Amino acid sequence: MGTPEIALGICEFVVLLFALSLHESAHGWMASRLGDQTARMLGRITLNPIKHIDPVGTIMLPLVAMVTHVPLIGWAKPTPVNTRNFKNFVRDDILTTLAGPVSNVIGAVVSLVVLIIIAKTSPVGLVSVQTVAMRGISGLDPRLLALSPIAYPLSLIFYIGVLLNLFLAAFNLLPLPPLDGSHIFRHMLPQRWLPVYDRLGILSLFLMLFFGGGVTMAMVNPVLGFFRVLLLSL
């Protein structure tokens, strides 16, 4: 692994840390708004990644992914929520659950806006953004990096922000325990089915590993394609 690949991997890792922190902090913020102060009292309503780190999901798995060149993914320490403090259990649980994926969608949109600003600042900024939009994060362009040592790296970082935030939002909405989507889906199930659904265990993990990525990208690709068309039309 050469220096450019290491630099790109570090950028992906840092963006993932903040995307995960945004997601978990949003759960805690919404729960606090709806009456449960558990996450606030534990200092979890913050973008500081240290407060959300899970040794395996936030550190070990992403680092292994970087070394082995597999798609980067991970998870943070779950935000503690005491649903007994909610006034309307079903509504408030769904809103608290949705806050995580929605925050990542907002993160993706903010990253897109920053890319548009970079493209509008200078001709080299426009070239940087459109090059990233065309090539994705498959690798660094050494010539463009030499030409634009600021705009090009920033374009890569915020494009990674778009991609990872969209992926995290879509992946977490899959109705598989323990993902966010399962919290919403279980409210739609008959009471007698809940014990079986909550015990999916290894089957849920199997479905996530072998089908989760493909289903998630099927949801993400149309949105990502629209964003690319928008950036290339600037």
- Reported as half-sphere exposure (CB side, CA atoms, 13 A), residue 29 has a value of 14
**What is the per-residue burial (b if ≥16 Cβ within 10 Å, else e) of 49-79?**
bebbebeebbeebbeebbeeeeebbbbbeeb
- Residues annotated catalytic, as ranges: 24
Please report which residue ranges of the chain form alpha helices under DSSP H.
3-33, 38-41, 61-68, 89-121, 123-135, 142-147, 151-172, 180-186, 194-198, 202-207, 213-232
